[in-house]
Chains A and B, each alone.
Chain A
Amino acid sequence: MTKPRTLFDKIWDSHVIMEKPGGDALLHIDRNFVHEGSFHAFGALAKEGRNVRKPRQTFAVADHYVPTVGRERGVDGAEDADARHMIRLLEENCRVNNVAHFGIDDERQGIVHVIGPELGITQPGLTITCGDSHTSTHGALGAYAFGTGASQLKQILATQCLWLKRPKTLQIIVSGKLGSQVTGKDIVLAIIAKIGTAGATGHVIEFAGSTISGLSVEGRLTVCNMAIEAGGRAGMIAPDDAIYEYLHGREYAPKGADWDRALAQWRTLPTDEGARFDRTVTLDATQLEPMLTWGTSPEEALPVSGHIPDPNTLGDPNQRAHALQALAYMDLKPGMALTDIRIDRAFIGSCTNGRIEDLRAAAAVLKGRKSMIPAWVSPGSTALKAQAEAEGLHRIFLDAGVEWRASGCSSCAAMNGDTVPAGLRCASTSNRNFEGRQGKGARTHLMSPAMAAAAMITGHVTDVRKLLAGA
C-alpha cells in the first residue's frame, strides 16, 4: 500500500522535474500570472536577451495601477504619467512576448486573484505563481499557489520552472456551524489572531474541517487569500463538487473529453486518510463572532464585542512593543470598546472580499439605508461588476450614497491613487492594516463586507448582527 499523502504532497510530487541532494526540487509551473508591477522582471529578462519560454502558460492583467474612476477614458484615465506608463508597459511586454493580456478595456479585466478562478485558468492540482503575495488565494480551488519576488518571476518567465525547497505542511481544522454574519473573513482573521503573522512561516496551510467544506467557493478564496498574513507559503483547500461545478464551462477550463479526464484526476487530489502534516491547529467555528483589526498587523484582531487590549498585559515582549506602536499610530486607547471606534471612510473590494457574495452581503446591509461616510465599492472584476449590475446591487450602493467604481486593486494596494487621507480611519475589506498601507498616515481596520457596510451606516465600528436586529 502506498503511503497516505496530503493534497500538497500530491501536487508537489507530480510537479517535480528533478531533485538535488538536500531537498531542492526543480518544480514545473503550470500557470504564471503577471501584472503591471512585473515590469522589473520583464526588464531584466529583456536585458539578458531572454524571452518568455511558455507564453501560453502565462497570463497578464492590469489591476494594481488601473484607476477605478474615469475608466471610459481607458489608460488616459489613470491619475499620473507613471501609472499610465506602467499599464502601457505591461501591454507592450505581453505583445513582444506573445502573452495573453487582459488590459484596462478588456471585459475579462479584474484583480488577478479574482479573474484566475473566474476564467477557469486556476484549476485543482496546478502549481500557480504570480509576483504578488496574495497568490495564495488560488489555493482555494485545490492548487499550490504562491507569490514570488521579481527575480523568481523572471526565472519562471524564462524557464517555466523554479528551484524550491519543499515547505512544511500545517493543517488548520475549522469545525462547527458558523453563527449569523460570520464569514470566511472572520474565520481567517481569527486564525491569524490565534497563530500570529509568523504562525505559518515556512509552511503550506491546508484548511480543512466541516466549516471550511461548508463555505462557498468565494468564502474559501477569502480564507486562502489571507494565508499569507499568517506567514504561510500558500493556503489550500481540498477540491470538491462545489469547485468542479464552479469551474465547469469557464473560458479556460477543460472542455469535453478533457473535462472528464481532468475531473477524474482532480478527484484523486484530496488528502488521504492518515496522511501526516508537520503541524495541526484546530479552531471551533461555533465560538466565532464578526472580527476586526484594531492595530497595524493582521494578528491584532479581535471579535467585535471586544475591547482594545492593554499592551502591558501582553506577555510576549515583541507583541507588547508592536501593540504600543500600533496604538500610537492608530490613536486608540487601551480598554476602549471596539464599537466606539469612529470610522471616516469605507472600502469594499480587493482580492480578499471583492467577489459577488461579498457585494451581495454588503448590499443586503445597505438596502434602504444611507452611508454616513464617504465610501466606495470596487468589484473584483469587470465581469463581476456587470453581474452585480444585472442583479441591481449597484442601485442599492448608489442609493445609499456609496460610490460604485470600476474594478482594480484600488485602496487595498493603494497604488492607483485610491488612498485614504492621513489620520482618517478606513473600514476596509482588504487584507493588510500595515502603517501607511492605504496611504501615508491612513488608519486601516480590516473586516468583512457586511461589517464594513454596517460601519458606513453608523460612522463607527458596529456589530452588523445588532444593526440588522434593530438593536
Chain B
Amino acid sequence: MKPFTTLTAVAAPIDMANIDTDRIIPVRFLRKLRNDKAGYEGYLFHDARFDNAGQEKPDFVLNKPAFRRAGIIVAGANFGCGSSREGAVYALLDYGIRAVIAPSFGDIHYANELQNGMLPVTLPEEICRGLRDQLQTNPGATLAIDLPAQTVTDTEGTAHPFTIDPVYKERLLKGLDDIGLVMEQLPGIESFESSYHNERPWLA
C-alpha cells in the first residue's frame, strides 16, 4: 500500500450531506474489472457527472476546468454512507482523489478508504463549510494536508488540526498491509482457535 504523509492538491467542494456510495459509483459499474490498464476513474460520480448521452454536465464540480485535477474533496456530513462497495474508493483513487474532508463518514466507507491508503479527514461542520466557501471563491486553490502534524491548511494559510486514531495514522504513514501484520500473529491465532473450537466444536 502506498504510504500517505503529506498532500497538497487542488480541492473540490461538494456542498452536500449524505453522499451515498451509489452516488459515488452507480451499481452497474461494479462488475467492471480493475487493473493497470483499466481504472475506475470514469465511473466516479458517473450519473451526476455525465448526461444520458455520456457528455459532461458543465455544472458538476469536477467538470469545471479549475477542479478537473482535484486530489482532495471537501464534502458534507456522512460521506460514503450506504453500500459497502469498495468500488467507491477505487473510483475516487483512480480519479486521483487521495483524501476526503468531511464532518463525518459512513463507517464501512471510512474503513475502505483507510484500507486503500486514502485519508478520510474529519473536521467540524463549520470548518468544512468554511473550506468549501474558500474553494468556491478561489476555484482551483489547493489545500495542504499534513498527516504527521494532523493539520489541514486552508487557502488563507490557517492550519486546522484534526484527530485520527493513532493506529490508523501509523498504518497510513507506513503503508502497512494488514494481512502481513495478522500473519505475524499466527501462533497466537491458532492457539485461540484451538481453545475456542474446543468449547464449540460445531463451529470449526
Within residues 125 to 165 of chain A, which ones have a CB less than 8 A from any CB in chain B? Answer: 126, 131-133, 147-152, 154-155, 158-161, 163, 165
Complex Cα distance, B115 from A437, in Å, reads 25
B167 touches A22 (CB 8 A): yes
Contact residues on A (Cβ < 8 Å of other chain), bracket: 35 or more
B196: which A residues are within 8 A, CB to CB? 14, 28
What is the distance, in angstroms, from A398's C-beta to the closest C-beta of chain B?
A: 29
Task: Identify the A interface with B (CB < 8 A).
Answer: 14, 17-18, 20, 22, 24, 26, 28, 30, 37, 40, 48, 50, 56-57, 65, 82-83, 85-86, 126, 131-133, 147-152, 154-155, 158-161, 163, 165, 167, 197-198, 201-202, 228, 231, 233, 254-255, 258, 261-262, 265, 297, 318-319, 321-322, 325, 413-415, 432, 434-437, 440
Complex Cα distance, B182 from A133, in Å, reads 24
What is the distance, in angstroms, from A321's C-beta to the closest C-beta of chain B?
A: 7
Complex Cα distance, B195 from A17, in Å, reads 11
Indicate whether B37 reaches chain A with its CB closer than 8 angstroms.
Answer: no
Residue in chain B with minimal CB distance to A83: B31
- Would A151 and B26 be within 8 Å (CB), given that A28-B196, A198-B77, A434-B82 are in contact? no
B165 touches A165 (CB 8 A): yes
Partner of A198, one of B28, B78, B166, B203: B78
Partner of A440, one of B26, B181, B189: B26
A-B pairs with lowest CB-CB distance, top 3: A151-B115, A149-B86, A149-B112
- 1/0 per residue, CB under 8 A from A, across B52-96: the answer is 100000000000000000000000111001111111010000000
B115: which A residues are within 8 A, CB to CB? 149, 151-152
Indicate whether B47 reaches chain A with its CB closer than 8 angstroms.
Answer: yes
Q: A18-B192, A414-B27 are in contact. List 14 more A-B contacts (CB 8 A).
A: A17-B185, A17-B189, A22-B165, A131-B86, A152-B111, A152-B178, A155-B179, A158-B183, A159-B182, A161-B182, A165-B165, A198-B78, A201-B106, A440-B26
B106 touches A26 (CB 8 A): no
B84: which A residues are within 8 A, CB to CB? 131-133, 147-149
Complex Cα distance, B88 from A236, in Å, reads 27
What is the distance, in angstroms, from A45's C-beta to the closest C-beta of chain B?
A: 9
B18 touches A254 (CB 8 A): no
What is the distance, in angstroms, from B31's C-beta to the closest C-beta of chain A?
A: 5
B188 touches A17 (CB 8 A): yes
B28: which A residues are within 8 A, CB to CB? 415
B82 touches A133 (CB 8 A): yes
Indicate whether B22 reaches chain A with its CB closer than 8 angstroms.
Answer: yes
Interface-central residue, A30, A132, A150, A258, by most chain B CB under 10 Å: A150
What is the distance, in angstroms, from B115's C-beta to the closest C-beta of chain A?
A: 4
Residue in chain A with minimal CB distance to B170: A22
What is the distance, in angstroms, from B135's C-beta to the closest C-beta of chain A?
A: 17
What is the distance, in angstroms, from B203's C-beta to the closest C-beta of chain A?
A: 6
B86 touches A50 (CB 8 A): no
- Would A163 and B178 be within 8 Å (CB), given that A30-B203, A318-B76 are in contact? yes
A202 touches B26 (CB 8 A): no
A17 touches B192 (CB 8 A): yes
Task: Identify the B interface with A (CB < 8 A).
Answer: 15-18, 20, 22-23, 26-28, 30-32, 34, 47, 52, 76-78, 81-87, 89, 104-109, 111-112, 115-116, 165-167, 178-179, 181-183, 185, 188-189, 192-193, 196, 199-204
A17: which B residues are within 8 A, CB to CB? 185, 188-189, 192
Complex Cα distance, B203 from A28, in Å, reads 12
B22 touches A155 (CB 8 A): no
What is the distance, in angstroms, from B119's C-beta to the closest C-beta of chain A?
A: 15
A233 touches B15 (CB 8 A): no
A155 touches B192 (CB 8 A): no
Residue in chain B with minimal CB distance to A300: B18
Complex Cα distance, B93 from A149, in Å, reads 15
B16 touches A321 (CB 8 A): yes
A57: which B residues are within 8 A, CB to CB? 203
B16 touches A322 (CB 8 A): yes
- Would A435 and B22 be within 8 Å (CB), given that A147-B84, A149-B86, A155-B179 are in contact? yes
B27: which A residues are within 8 A, CB to CB? 413-415, 437
A148 touches B18 (CB 8 A): no
Complex Cα distance, B31 from A149, in Å, reads 15
Residue in chain A with minimal CB distance to B28: A415
Complex Cα distance, B116 from A198, in Å, reads 23
B105: which A residues are within 8 A, CB to CB? 201
What is the distance, in angstroms, from B61's C-beta to the closest C-beta of chain A?
A: 15
What is the distance, in angstroms, from B16's C-beta to the closest C-beta of chain A?
A: 7
B17 touches A163 (CB 8 A): no
B30: which A residues are within 8 A, CB to CB? 37, 415
What is the distance, in angstroms, from B127's C-beta to the closest C-beta of chain A?
A: 15
Complex Cα distance, B76 from A325, in Å, reads 14
What is the distance, in angstroms, from B184's C-beta to the closest C-beta of chain A?
A: 11
B200: which A residues are within 8 A, CB to CB? 261-262, 265
B192 touches A151 (CB 8 A): no
A150 touches B165 (CB 8 A): no
B182 touches A198 (CB 8 A): no
Residue in chain B with minimal CB distance to A196: B78
Residue in chain A with minimal CB distance to B89: A149
What is the distance, in angstroms, from A317's C-beta to the closest C-beta of chain B?
A: 9
B78 touches A150 (CB 8 A): no
Complex Cα distance, B182 from A85, in Å, reads 32
A26: which B residues are within 8 A, CB to CB? 182, 185, 189
Complex Cα distance, B89 from A331, in Å, reads 31
B22 touches A197 (CB 8 A): no
A318 touches B17 (CB 8 A): yes
B189: which A residues are within 8 A, CB to CB? 17, 26, 28, 159-161
Residue in chain B with minimal CB distance to A258: B202
A435 touches B31 (CB 8 A): no
- Would A155 and B26 be within 8 Å (CB), given that A17-B185, A133-B83, A262-B200 are in contact? no
A321 touches B17 (CB 8 A): yes
A22: which B residues are within 8 A, CB to CB? 165-167
What is the distance, in angstroms, from B179's C-beta to the closest C-beta of chain A?
A: 5
Complex Cα distance, B185 from A161, in Å, reads 11
